[in-house]
Amino acid sequence: MYDYQHHWKDGVPLHLPLGKIVCIGRNYAEHARELNNPIPDEPLLFIKPATAAVHITRPLVIPRNQGEVHYETELAVLIGRPLTNASEREAKEAILGYGLALDLTLRDVQSQLKEKGHPWERAKGFDGACPLSPFVAAEKLTGDHFTFTMEVDQHLRQSGDTRDMLVPIAPLIAHISSQFSLMPGDVVLTGTPKGVGPLAVGQTLSLELEDVLFVETKVV
């Protein structure tokens, strides 16, 4: 049953609706290369429906009989103000919080869709395709770049640094708002670093953002 609700790190619910989850493909050059994809000239946008969102701390249920399900760990940005054709300053001021997310992907399905030149939603938008962490208030992360990691069974698999983004956070959000409006409660996933791979039942995933957020989940 769909019961996702945004929360702060301390468990306090955020009384904002989840409208859409805007995702960015190939925003880290090394990730594009590891999948033999060209590096885009502008942000590659796609959307996951709100029904894809689940709480990352709950057991992670992955689809069966659809090929490999890959994890892609991403910095998640929670939007707190309406944005349309925003400047970079306005985009930055509209960030309410930061969290972590898994952009789960049916990789075999995505490959088939790419070959046909079709959209990716079948591979990216299934129920449970976007496990989201609680959020940390934006003022808690004040540096000029953030780092995040993801371990599988205590082995480091992904390590991201926002300095490596092809399009940084504020310009990225401003660009999105020039294509379609962002609303309070919307979430932007900012791209994944290299190291993506398949999930398997029984694995434990541990995600950390700087020293302000740590979450763990188990694949069932």
Average of per-residue pLDDT across 51-56: 97
Torsion of CA 56, 76, 23, 49, to 10 degrees: 50
Q: Is residue 93 part of a domain?
A: yes
| Overall number of domains in the chain | 1
The Cα–Cα gap between 162 and 127 comes to: 28
Burial class (CB in 10 A: 0-12, 13-18, 19+), 69: buried
The Cα–Cα gap between 45 and 23 comes to: 6
* Host domain of residue 205: 20-218
> Which CATH number is 101's domain given?
3.90.850.10
Average of per-residue pLDDT across 53-65: 95
Average of per-residue pLDDT across 121-143: 95
Q: Is residue 2 part of a domain?
A: no
Q: Is residue 159 part of a domain?
A: yes
Half-sphere exposure for 133 (CA within 13 Å, toward CB): 30
CA angle centred on 103, ends 97 and 108, rounded to 5°: 170
Give yes or no for residue 145 having a pLDDT over 70: yes
> 34-50 pLDDT, tens per residue?
777 777 788 999 999 99
Give yes or no for residue 124 having a pLDDT over 60: yes
User: Which tokens belong to 105?
Assistant: 């992907």
User: How many CB atoms lie under 10 A from the CB of residue 162?
Assistant: 21
pTM of the model: 0.94
**Predicted local distance difference test score (pLDDT) of residue 1:** 44
**Predicted local distance difference test score (pLDDT) of residue 186:** 98
**Predicted local distance difference test score (pLDDT) of residue 30:** 79
User: Which tokens belong to 37?
Assistant: 């994809």
